[in-house]
Amino acid sequence: MLALDKAFTYDLPAELDAGVGSYVRFRFHGKLTKGWVLGPTSDLPARTLPVMRAVSPVRFFDAELLGLARWISTRYVTPLAEVLGALSPPRVASEEPRAPAARDRPVGTEVHRAPASVWDGYTHGPRLERAIVSDEGTFVVRPAPEDEQRVAVEAVSACLAGGRRAIVLVPEASPLPATVAALEEAFGDRLVVFAGGDARARYRTWLRIKAGQADVVVGTRPAVFAPLPALGLLWVARESHPAHREERAPYHHVRDVALRRAAISGGVAVLAAVCPSTEAAALGLPTVVPSTKRWPKVEVVRPGREGRAPRLVRALGDVRRAFLFSPLPGAGVAQVCRTCSAPAACAVCGGTLRASAGEIRCVVCEAPGRCAVCGGTTFGVRRGGAERVEAWAARTARVPVARITEPRLPAAGGEVLVGGADVVRDLGVARLDLVAILDADLAARRPGLTAPERALAVWMEAVGWARPAGSAIVQTAHPGDPAVQALVRGSPDRFHQRERDRREAAGFPVGAAVFRVIGTEALEGELAEHHPITSLITSLGGRTVCLLALEPDRVPAFGDAMRRLAAVGVVERVEAEPHL
């Protein structure tokens, strides 16, 4: 609880052999409670109770990780105990007797090295490589699409050659990202994958990492906390991916935690993506990019009905392997009830009705399609979506056409795939003949302040599959749109500048700390004292809900106030960095 977010002093008997990071049992207001040892203090109360016992022989964090946890607690206004609980996977006591003994194994220098460094072909590349070997710093890397896996391998190689260890963070674990596969091939048993699996397997892997059994840790969000000694590199792959944000408390973002941990450990943090986030671009970090343009030719055409632009239809007749990005699922959207002529809406929840697989269902509650006015079940449908694209593409292409929901690349023998954002993953060098972006104009109509950025990141990853010799077609009625122009150039620099201006005008400037706070009616007046950049107030279910943006240097005082107000019942919940 935020109201109890403070440390309490207890006497720690020497015979318990406990210290910083130990998980112990003690009495708190007469009840048996568990908690973590944070270290000694000179601020002693008149009376202290003893810690009763050590729950586990494992030290779950050291002073360095404790410093990181304290920073997260302050930055995201979340209880320190909640952060400490996130530093390790759920404990499985039966795994601890079998845990490998801790050893301070030197990293060694036998590492995978390519005959020529990939960094020689990148602006600021040699500077990054030197920093990874023996220095510290932070960088943004925008790799050429065909280098995405290679640059990660080269960076880790340089880190190990310098006698330090590395953490590589990926947004998703399934299917296995090509970056992870490349790292496994390069480093073999020196690498541990910390992603997926049941609680027992995750805890066993974590204990291996803590014991010094790995030089490289690859994983999803929790891997940013991996207890890896001599840490020299934190590599955030596909940095702009939304899965790098933790949706549960503590609501941290891997990008920011990686930057902070690198600063604490004296290592290098790298934010890598074909299209980095606007937040990463605004940091003003050295940006490592190819010295020469390495991007597919992107042709902009006006949209055709159901995505059938004449130029795309002609191109499909000549290609063997292609991907058609169609963001709308189904075969069309119901427009009007044929029985009563009312606008089509779900009778259960009022949501949009979509035709898919021969039936009409609500996209919100998935109820069978019935008119909200008369209960009718027949509708006039505006045709369009991935099912319709699959149908007309199959009549056009000379190779098989398949609509997919699971990520994969077209068959080597020839295939055209149709899919949306969910199938655009880290699948390796694709070498497709053609990538087409259909319905690009939908991005401007998506809800959310960051919708255009998310769309561009997906488009650029998909178009990157056309490297090294393919091409791309994007269908849009607005060829001058900043996101479309960024896709054509293969560079999001101008787009990011426009995004910074747009978000500034909306009241949520890039770099501001954003919070959603829920509490009583008194909350609005209390928040005004912190001089927010923007403050939006509404009521929901008898509670006051405030969305506000703060200058970063105001966050510590804001957090202290939220803890104080939580103790008197004014603040009920604080959520950091909500999706906008």
Condensed to tens digits (0 to 9), the pLDDT of residues 59-97 reads 999 999 999 999 999 999 999 999 999 998 999 999 988
Q: If you average pLDDT over residues 127-144, what whole number do you get?
A: 95
Amino acid at 313: V
What is the Cα 376 distance to its own chain's centre? Answer: 42
Confidence of residue 159 (pLDDT cuts 50, 70, 90): very high
Tens digits of residue pLDDT in 192-227: 999 888 899 999 999 999 999 999 999 999 999 999
Q: Which long-range contacts (CB under 8 A, 24 or more apart) does 440-445 make?
A: 440/474, 440/475, 440/476, 440/481, 440/483, 440/484, 441/303, 441/476, 441/477, 441/478, 442/327, 442/328, 443/483, 444/478, 444/481
Confidence of residue 351 (pLDDT cuts 50, 70, 90): very high
Torsional class of 439: left (φ above 0), alpha (ψ -120 to 50), beta (otherwise): left
Element (H, E) at 70: helix 63-75
Tens digits of residue pLDDT in 401-443: 999 999 999 999 999 999 999 999 999 999 999 999 999 998 8
Cβ(47)–Cβ(546) under 8 Å? Answer: no
Cβ(285)–Cβ(139) under 8 Å? Answer: yes
Return d(Cα 168, Cα 218) in angstroms, integer: 5
Cβ(145)–Cβ(429) under 8 Å? Answer: yes
Confidence of residue 115 (pLDDT cuts 50, 70, 90): low
Sheet holding 332-337, edge to edge: 359-362, 353-356, 332-337, 379-383
Reading the block at residue 300, the tokens are 């902009």
- Domains in the chain, CATH or no CATH each: 2-89 (3.40.1440.60), 118-290 (3.40.50.300), 297-331+384-503 (3.40.50.300), 513-576 (3.30.70.260)
The pLDDT of residue 113 is above 80: no
Residues linked to residue 403 through DSSP beta bridges, in sequence order: 418
Residue 442 has what pLDDT? 86
The widest CA-to-CA distance across the chain, in whole angstroms, is 84
Tens digits of residue pLDDT in 492-545: 999 999 999 999 999 999 999 999 999 998 998 899 999 999 999 998 878 899
Q: Which long-range contacts (CB under 8 A, 24 or more apart) does 251-257 make?
A: 251/76, 251/78, 251/575, 251/576, 251/577, 251/578, 252/72, 252/75, 252/76, 252/576, 253/577, 254/169, 254/221, 254/224, 255/279, 255/280, 256/75, 257/68, 257/72, 257/224, 257/225
The pLDDT of residue 245 is above 90: yes
Residues linked to residue 301 through DSSP beta bridges, in sequence order: 475
Q: pTM here?
A: 0.93
Kindly provide the residue ranges of all beta strands, DSSP E only, lying in 222-320, ordered along the sequence: 231-237, 268-272, 287-290, 297-301
Cβ(296)–Cβ(433) under 8 Å? Answer: no
Cβ(483)–Cβ(459) under 8 Å? Answer: yes
Residues linked to residue 128 through DSSP beta bridges, in sequence order: none
Tens digits of residue pLDDT in 553-572: 999 999 999 999 999 999 99
% of the chain at pLDDT higher than 70: 98
**How does DSSP assign 152-188, residue by residue?**
HHHHHHHHHHTT-EEEEE-S--SSPPHHHHHHHHHHG
Return d(Cα 23, Cα 370) in angstroms, integer: 56
Reading the block at residue 244, the tokens are 């790098």
Residue 542 has what pLDDT? 81
Within a 10 A sphere around the Cβ of 578, how many other Cβ atoms?
12
Confidence of residue 105 (pLDDT cuts 50, 70, 90): low
Return d(Cα 381, Cα 343) in angstroms, integer: 11
Q: If you average pLDDT over residues 159-171, what whole number do you get?
A: 96
How far from 496 is each of 112, 254, 453, CA to CA, in Å? 36, 20, 8
Instruction: Tell me the pLDDT of the chain averaged across its residues.
Output: 93
% of the chain at pLDDT higher than 90: 83
Nearest to 424 by CA among 468, 458, 395, 373: 458
Tens digits of residue pLDDT in 226-237: 999 999 999 999
The pLDDT of residue 102 is above 80: no
Tens digits of residue pLDDT in 266-320: 999 999 999 999 999 999 999 999 999 999 999 999 998 888 999 999 999 999 9
Return d(Cα 297, Cα 174) in angstroms, integer: 30
Query: For tokens 């795309």, what's the residue?
Result: 312
Return d(Cα 25, Cα 62) in angstroms, integer: 19
Nearest to 433 by CA among 456, 410, 461: 410
**How does DSSP assign 366-421, residue by residue?**
--B--BTTT----EEEEE-SHHHHHHHHHHH-SS-EEE-SS--PPPTT-EEEEE-G
Residue 540 has what pLDDT? 80
Look up residue 147 and give its DSSP letter.
Answer: G
Nearest to 226 by CA among 192, 184, 175, 189: 192
CA dihedral sign of residues 28, 34, 36, 37: positive
Look up residue 86 and give its DSSP letter.
Answer: H
- Which spans in 162-309 are helix H? 178-187, 199-210, 254-265, 278-281
Coil, helix or strand for 224? helix
The pLDDT of residue 108 is above 70: no
